[in-house]
Amino acid sequence: MKFEIVTIFPDFFRGPLQHGIVRRAQEAGLIDIRVHDLRAFTHDRHRTVDDRPFGGGEGMVLKPEPLFECCAAMGLEPQAARRAPGAKESVVLLSAQGRLFGQETAEELAALERVVLLCGRYEGVDERVGEHLADREISIGDYVLSGGELGALVIVDAVTRLLPGALGNQASAEQESFSGRVARREEGKPVSTCASGGLLDYPHYTRPAEYQGLPVPEVLVSGNHDQIRRWRRGRALEKTLRNRPELLERVALSEEDRELLAEIRQRQ
């Protein structure tokens, strides 16, 4: 998978991509990340990438020409081909007005050979970029960021993890043991956003068994694996009910889940 990031802050990407799974994926040749300085595609002495908005208003707008010229220099497929089914490349505009990024979009992008990430800045990007250059416009969440760079990093991380071989053997084996028994949505697709299939993950503990007077839950050191499984499912349900109640409406609950939820609701 080739990622190409277009930004006015190429140095922003020096640190964050050199750690953990993303670093290893690069070293293994699974992914190749290129960062392009948008200012290299300007022609004036001041290397201008922004301009005032037509119609007036606050702030500056990212000009279309440097973004179009940068993409032209990359030798991308024509936009029609990129938008057709079976496309292998996609140009993504990171913007606060985009569709919300989620695990499903990460999976879509992971199936491609090349992903171009255009990082917005200033008050916005000339709309012709979103309409005629990018194939999709993505936001990473409902909060105001200063630009698309953090969004591009989020996408690189989430997509890289999905590439076969990106996770160590242990991690991928763990993931498989989850996906074997996850709840399934109407379309029959497993819910993979959360570790335990549509619910938030259960709490984890490690040694010491007691820390500053705080013990690890007894059941986890009991060796009773059916009780441990039931306890974990209960805590996953409890945490989901408290922090993300909307997820519970989309997940298929078993008879045992309903029992556990009834207990939890009684306790509260």
Q: Are strands 210-211 and 214-215 parallel, antiparallel or unpaired?
A: antiparallel
Is residue 197 near ligand 9D3 by the rule CB under 6 A? no
Per-residue CA distances from 242 to 85, 161, 264 (Å): 40, 28, 10
Among the candidate windows 28-36, 82-90, 133-141, 234-242, which touches ligand 9D3 by CB under 6 A? 133-141
Is residue 130 near ligand 9D3 by the rule CB under 6 A? no
User: 268 near 238, Cβ under 8 Å?
Assistant: no
CB of 92 to ligand 9D3, least distance (A): 10
Instruction: With residue 99 as reference, give the H or E element that holds it.
Output: strand 89-100
Is residue 49 near ligand 9D3 by the rule CB under 6 A? no
Helices (H), the chain: 20-27, 64-73, 79-83, 103-110, 127-132, 149-160, 169-179, 225-243, 245-248, 255-267
Q: Say how many residues touch ligand 9D3, by CB under 6 A.
A: 16
Radius of gyration, CA atoms only, the chain: 23
CB of 176 to ligand 9D3, least distance (A): 31
Is residue 141 near ligand 9D3 by the rule CB under 6 A? yes
Q: Binding string, 71-110, against ligand 9D3, x = CB under 6 A?
A: -----------------------xxx--------------
Separation of alpha carbons 80 and 85, rounded Å:
10
Is residue 216 near ligand 9D3 by the rule CB under 6 A? no
The footprint of ligand 9D3 (CB under 6 A) covers: 94-96, 120, 123-124, 139-141, 143-148, 151
